[in-house]
Amino acid sequence: MYRLSRLRYIFPIGLFVAFFLDGSVSKVFSGWLFSYPYSMVSHLVILWLVLAYFFEEDTKIPLVPFAAVTGLIFDLYYSGIIGLFMFLFPLIIALTKALAKYFTPTFLTVIMIFFIDITCLELINYFAYTIIGVVNSSFGDFLIYVLAPTLALNLVYLVVLYLPIRSIFVRAMQQKNS
């Protein structure tokens, strides 16, 4: 029913906005987000994709293809290393789907699943960049100076944006049914 709903317009627009806000927030607040030795990475795209999974109801948005295309564009636009996010974004959606099967979707379970998603994304990203030699910091430093601040920033995003994003999806769904 995705083709018949307003989400076919609203979802890609929201994904596009999240995509550019990730970079814009990082650029505008770089002095605060990346003050030595701490580094906070904004993951608004993952937030949008994960919340879309929880709010889509019976619409069934094709999240994995959207995640793969967004990941490829993310790679080309932000990192310059083609392929990492193209596979990580769909992997995070698959992880979200797998975890959500075991829990009733409440605000607290969404927080927990999003926490796990960001942790897995950052860990895989760290190990991949370590293998190819882009990152040379220790795992302990990564946990303290990158993962913890990144989790804090993105959990604040989730808490602040949960209700506005939910209302966008609910409004789009109501107009589909009218």
CA 177 centroid distance within chain: 28
pLDDT exceeds 60 at position 177: no
Q: Which two tokens stand for residue 154?
A: 């993105």
Compute CA distances 70 → 9, 20, 96, 106, 114, whole Å: 16, 11, 17, 27, 18
Alpha helices in the chain, H assignment, sequence order: 7-28, 30-33, 44-55, 63-74, 84-100, 107-131, 139-142, 148-177
How many CB atoms within 10 Å of residue 153? 18
pTM of the model: 0.91
Q: What is the pLDDT of residues 83-142, one digit of tens each?
A: 789 999 999 999 999 999 999 889 999 999 999 999 999 999 999 989 988 888 899 999
First to last CA, the chain: 14
Q: How confident is the model at residue 58 (pLDDT cuts 50, 70, 90)?
A: confident
Report percent pLDDT > 90 for the chain.
67
pLDDT exceeds 70 at position 159: yes
Q: How confident is the model at residue 20 (pLDDT cuts 50, 70, 90)?
A: very high
Across the range 51-80, mean pLDDT stands at 89
Q: Whose CA is closest to 50, among 120, 108, 12, 100? A: 100
What pLDDT is stored for residue 2 in this prediction?
55
Are 78 and 72 in contact by the 8 Å Cβ rule? The answer is no
Q: From CA 30, how far away is CA 26, in angstroms rounded? A: 5
